[in-house]
A and B are shown apart, each in its own frame.
Chain A
């Protein structure tokens, strides 16, 4: 019996259920799509390890995984495909070999590189992309790439994007059908960045231990060690920041600076545990399996739910809903997104605010209005030419309601914003 191993899986592939589509034919067809599917997994960390295991045991046989990182000792509390002896080795490679060895018949191709190193031809090869990432920027990049690849005349160009994320006991799983349903960029304001502490607080009136640590990182390092590139993985560097922060905290009588907190602030550490990763990764793979086999309705079906929010710190709570596509989404919409601004602030202040505004989150923006170049980050000549604009008020540069195109080296597309003056 060739499929003795898949006895449990085959039951749901060979039988209809009360929720399967009336036109769905069980048996050969769904099995065929499962065996033919080519899946790309982005990230081989906490979620990625789980995703690779789950896909292999869901009957997928052709999987690629991309991760640029190497294994660190702090990964071992959840990234269960890695052992102490693997510390320092590339994650994608070690994870792929482990799952291939454990589950017979699965092929996993590792790539130790950035997603930006791969081109559209590469992404076009896959039937689906599953992301287990901790970076919003990487998610936005792959999202924009997949939306950009959609060709209305070629149904194969539409690659479902399944995305998971966790923080502590909480997380979310979502499915995007590029151009058809709400995309990662439409949902950007669901993941607002933490507000930055104003520089003047750090420099002159620190109150919290975190202020002292940020001061050490941003100001003291720049003043005393600017020739060294700060490496937050280097224990000597972290120890130096810690002792600087502690000194400053003592000077201001601020209690609470610890080594662990220093590490947490400078590396922006997000707490992560095996169980939450297991929940979110499995939810992503459950959706991937349903999308591929049509064995049940899935998240992301147009006009139905596409987003599951999970929280486990007070009992268990899930909220599964439809996040609506936005017409003014810079990636998948066609209208400029309105941004309310105070016309009296300078262009410099506006640019700084773009990094933090939940609906923008752009760190190195270059801006052009309909009429002229407002500010260029590069090349240097253009930067120099446009620099004087930085200190001008917005009201001197654009009119109320004017559209501004913004590009950022982190993304390959232009964002369109409509600046609406606050009265």
Chain B
């Protein structure tokens, strides 16, 4: 037939074929971001979790990775690390891991750095080539502090990772402002139909398609899109309720009955499907769409309130959308329409009403963006597609405030800052996994003091008998000290029973950590490598929502928990 676009003769490219299953999640834009990324793994200790993380990044096609590790391959490595071979015993661990990881994906470029971390970082520019850094346990507080400072100064995302026996932990140090537009919310939560504030074109199509509703043939009556039915009954309702829409639950239930009463029964197919849909949508569609707290947080951020010529495009667009919200009392319309029982032409016409309104809103925001850019003297202009994407996702944008993670030493106290109160009063301390996080801090404090992890022989990789009781006692005392310091800083007088519960719990976590003697179990390392790779992908693609900012996994009970520290 005339006017149809002929399908392209060629199918997807070979790259599209290889990455098909992931492109369906993060699309070409996410893939391009991955391919631009350069990840540095600063490896230490048994060194499995970092390699497992890289595996999950090499496979989806990250641009470049480098492994910094001066260790030689030990027998114990061969029993825990899949990316090493028998023949390489005694040779550089970084070199062989890097080689075997590269085999996974010819599109990825990988390298290794075998000099000690202290020597490597003595060059202030050594870290410059990397867009994201992963640091594993046992690097020591000095190296961690150096990396943390670098991350803060250069806004380079930094991960700090532990995998010890059945437990693991990672903290994520993001830039101070890390905004996400494409958060991939659940499709069911994104529908914004504006039934309570219809615009003129929507009212027109409603009047047009529901005119003479009562007298319609059964077939016509059963094909009026439910959304127009709701609008029509809303208009009827308002006429008898001083112009007000149903707002309480009771009123909505009453309204729902009103809608249901319009359905014709006894037809060939039972109750009309469109009326069923309308009835089902009453409770969730008749709400005034108010911006979420996450969106209000973006609008209230100083970067949004006072944008400057050097603000990133995100903040200029955020300000324009905030202005739009101020002017109209609603966010720009996303424009998506769920499927509903309707004739094809009616549905498409209705879809176009939503799309046109969405386009008009985007145009208004874009004009505001351009006005702001001119007013502020911005050197570059925001991309139109980014403005469009922001408008369509406006209700679900998210701002993560990155902050440095805690570094335990054998001397200085852990500082909890504005998180102290929340942590001290958290039920997670005695019942959840916050105690496990404290156990990890104690583990680090022990290692900083003793130069080896608790429960481990002086050579970590040796398979020898080792009495752990003394180590456990020291590590538990570190943990008690950390809890003491937290309660003091929070100025929270915990009652004695509660404190006993907390101490018992934390001591158990410490005990289980000491049992592992600094060793990694492959399963927990692999699981944690999966968790971290997901987070790295989210950070690099700026899609989905990353952990803010600390996650622990408990392989004994198979649970995880996330907290802000």
Please list the residues of chain A having a beta carbon within 8 angstroms of any beta carbon in chain B. 1, 3-12, 14-19, 50, 53-54, 57-59, 73-74, 76-78, 80, 83-84, 102-104, 168-169, 173, 201, 205-208, 235, 238-239, 242-243, 246-247, 250-254, 259-260, 263-264, 269-283, 285-287, 289, 296-297, 299, 305, 308, 312-318, 320, 342
Chain B residues positioned under 8 Å from A102 (CB to CB): 82, 85
Are the CB atoms of B11 and A243 closer together than 8 Å?
no
Q: Is B146 an interface residue (CB 8 A)?
A: no
Are the CB atoms of B184 and A279 closer together than 8 Å?
no
Of B165, B345, B531, the contact of A11 (CB 8 Å cutoff)? B165
Are the CB atoms of B558 and A315 closer together than 8 Å?
no
4 cross-chain pairs, A with B, having the tightest CB-CB distances, nearest first: A8-B519, A278-B530, A279-B530, A282-B527
Chain A residues positioned under 8 Å from B347 (CB to CB): 205, 207
Are the CB atoms of B348 and A254 closer together than 8 Å?
yes
Are the CB atoms of A73 and B5 closer together than 8 Å?
no
Are the CB atoms of A320 and B5 closer together than 8 Å?
no
Q: Is B14 an interface residue (CB 8 A)?
A: yes
Chain A residues positioned under 8 Å from B165 (CB to CB): 11-12
**A77-B61, A286-B524, A314-B545 are contacts. A8–B530 as well, Cβ < 8 Å?**
no
Are the CB atoms of B530 and A316 closer together than 8 Å?
no
**A17-B515, A169-B544, A316-B531 are contacts. A6–B3 as well, Cβ < 8 Å?**
no
**A7-B463, A315-B545 are contacts. A260–B12 as well, Cβ < 8 Å?**
yes
Please list the residues of chain B having a beta carbon within 8 angstroms of any beta carbon in chain A. 1, 3-8, 11-12, 14, 16-25, 46, 52, 55-56, 59-61, 75-76, 78-82, 85-86, 103-106, 165-166, 183-184, 223, 270, 339-345, 347-348, 455, 461-463, 465, 468, 507-508, 511-512, 515-517, 519-524, 526-527, 529-531, 533-535, 537, 544-548, 551, 555-560, 562
Of B20, B78, B512, B557, the contact of A260 (CB 8 Å cutoff)? B20
Chain B residues positioned under 8 Å from A253 (CB to CB): 344-345, 348
Are the CB atoms of B59 and A274 closer together than 8 Å?
yes
Are the CB atoms of B75 and A57 closer together than 8 Å?
no
Are the CB atoms of B79 and A276 closer together than 8 Å?
no
Chain B residues positioned under 8 Å from A314 (CB to CB): 183, 544-545
Are the CB atoms of A74 and B20 closer together than 8 Å?
yes
Are the CB atoms of A250 and B5 closer together than 8 Å?
yes
Are the CB atoms of A239 and B545 closer together than 8 Å?
no
| Chain B: CB-nearest residue to A210 | B339
8 contacts between A and B (CB under 8 A): A57-B82, A83-B103, A201-B341, A275-B534, A282-B524, A282-B527, A286-B555, A296-B556
Chain B residues positioned under 8 Å from A207 (CB to CB): 339-340, 342, 344, 347-348
Are the CB atoms of B558 and A299 closer together than 8 Å?
yes
Task: Give the complex CA separation of A50 and B86 in angstroms.
Answer: 20
CB of A231 to closest CB in B, whole Å: 14
Are the CB atoms of A8 and B526 closer together than 8 Å?
no
CB of A316 to closest CB in B, whole Å: 5
Are the CB atoms of A11 and B515 closer together than 8 Å?
yes
Of B166, B343, B511, B551, the contact of A296 (CB 8 Å cutoff)? B166
Of B533, B559, B562, the contact of A278 (CB 8 Å cutoff)? B533
| Chain A: CB-nearest residue to B4 | A250
Are the CB atoms of B558 and A275 closer together than 8 Å?
no
Are the CB atoms of B59 and A5 closer together than 8 Å?
no
| Chain A: CB-nearest residue to B77 | A5
Chain A residues positioned under 8 Å from B560 (CB to CB): 316-318
| Most-contacted residue by chain A among B1, B106, B345, B519 (CB, 10 A) | B519
Are the CB atoms of A275 and B463 closer together than 8 Å?
no
Are the CB atoms of A11 and B556 closer together than 8 Å?
no
Task: Give the complex CA separation of A281 and B546 in angstroms.
Answer: 22
Chain A residues positioned under 8 Å from B184 (CB to CB): 313
CB of A245 to closest CB in B, whole Å: 9
Are the CB atoms of A58 and B12 closer together than 8 Å?
no
Are the CB atoms of B455 and A239 closer together than 8 Å?
no
Chain A residues positioned under 8 Å from B516 (CB to CB): 8, 11-12
| Chain B: CB-nearest residue to A5 | B79
Are the CB atoms of A15 and B515 closer together than 8 Å?
yes
CB of B552 to closest CB in A, whole Å: 10
| Chain B: CB-nearest residue to A251 | B1
Of A239, A270, A275, the contact of B11 (CB 8 Å cutoff)? A239
Besides A7-B75, A18-B511, A270-B21, 18 more A-B contacts (Cβ < 8 Å) are A7-B462, A19-B512, A73-B18, A84-B106, A104-B78, A173-B558, A205-B342, A207-B342, A243-B6, A250-B3, A259-B8, A260-B16, A272-B21, A273-B534, A278-B533, A313-B184, A320-B557, A320-B559
Chain B residues positioned under 8 Å from A243 (CB to CB): 6-7
CB of B462 to closest CB in A, whole Å: 6
Task: Give the complex CA separation of A73 and B184 in angstroms.
Answer: 27
Chain A residues positioned under 8 Å from B103 (CB to CB): 83
| Most-contacted residue by chain A among B59, B79, B86, B463 (CB, 10 A) | B79
CB of A143 to closest CB in B, whole Å: 20
| Chain B: CB-nearest residue to A4 | B75
Chain A residues positioned under 8 Å from B166 (CB to CB): 12, 286, 296
Chain B residues positioned under 8 Å from A169 (CB to CB): 25, 534, 544
Task: Give the complex CA separation of A14 and B466 in angstroms.
Answer: 10
| Chain B: CB-nearest residue to A298 | B558
Chain A residues positioned under 8 Å from B59 (CB to CB): 76-78, 80, 274
Of A74, A239, A275, A316, the contact of B56 (CB 8 Å cutoff)? A275
Chain B residues positioned under 8 Å from A247 (CB to CB): 1, 4
CB of B179 to closest CB in A, whole Å: 15
Chain B residues positioned under 8 Å from A83 (CB to CB): 103
Are the CB atoms of A275 and B530 closer together than 8 Å?
yes
Of B340, B523, B533, the contact of A275 (CB 8 Å cutoff)? B533
| Chain B: CB-nearest residue to A207 | B347
CB of B165 to closest CB in A, whole Å: 6
CB of A302 to closest CB in B, whole Å: 16
Are the CB atoms of A80 and B104 closer together than 8 Å?
yes
Of A7, A205, A254, A279, the contact of B461 (CB 8 Å cutoff)? A7
Are the CB atoms of B533 and A4 closer together than 8 Å?
no
**A8-B80, A12-B521 are contacts. A274–B55 as well, Cβ < 8 Å?**
yes
Chain A residues positioned under 8 Å from B530 (CB to CB): 274-280, 282
Are the CB atoms of A54 and B344 closer together than 8 Å?
no
CB of B465 to closest CB in A, whole Å: 8
Are the CB atoms of A11 and B519 closer together than 8 Å?
yes
**A17-B515, A296-B556 are contacts. A74–B344 as well, Cβ < 8 Å?**
no
Of A57, A77, A250, the contact of B60 (CB 8 Å cutoff)? A77
Task: Give the complex CA separation of A317 and B508 in angstroms.
Answer: 23
Task: Give the complex CA separation of A304 and B354 in angstroms.
Answer: 50
| Chain B: CB-nearest residue to A103 | B82
Task: Give the complex CA separation of A59 and B25 in angstroms.
Answer: 35
Are the CB atoms of A54 and B545 closer together than 8 Å?
no
Chain A residues positioned under 8 Å from B455 (CB to CB): 11, 15
Task: Give the complex CA separation of A310 and B555 in angstroms.
Answer: 14
Chain A residues positioned under 8 Å from B461 (CB to CB): 7
CB of B437 to closest CB in A, whole Å: 14
Task: Give the complex CA separation of A247 and B165 in angstroms.
Answer: 58
**A279-B530, A314-B544 are contacts. A289–B1 as well, Cβ < 8 Å?**
no
Chain B residues positioned under 8 Å from A296 (CB to CB): 166, 555-556
Chain A residues positioned under 8 Å from B18 (CB to CB): 73-74, 76-77
Chain B residues positioned under 8 Å from A259 (CB to CB): 7-8, 11-12
CB of A311 to closest CB in B, whole Å: 10
Task: Give the complex CA separation of A313 and B25 in angstroms.
Answer: 10
Task: Give the complex CA separation of A103 and B84 in angstroms.
Answer: 9
Chain A residues positioned under 8 Å from B1 (CB to CB): 247, 250-251
Chain A residues positioned under 8 Å from B78 (CB to CB): 5, 104
Chain A residues positioned under 8 Å from B341 (CB to CB): 201
Chain A residues positioned under 8 Å from B23 (CB to CB): 260
| Most-contacted residue by chain B among A11, A16, A254 (CB, 10 A) | A11
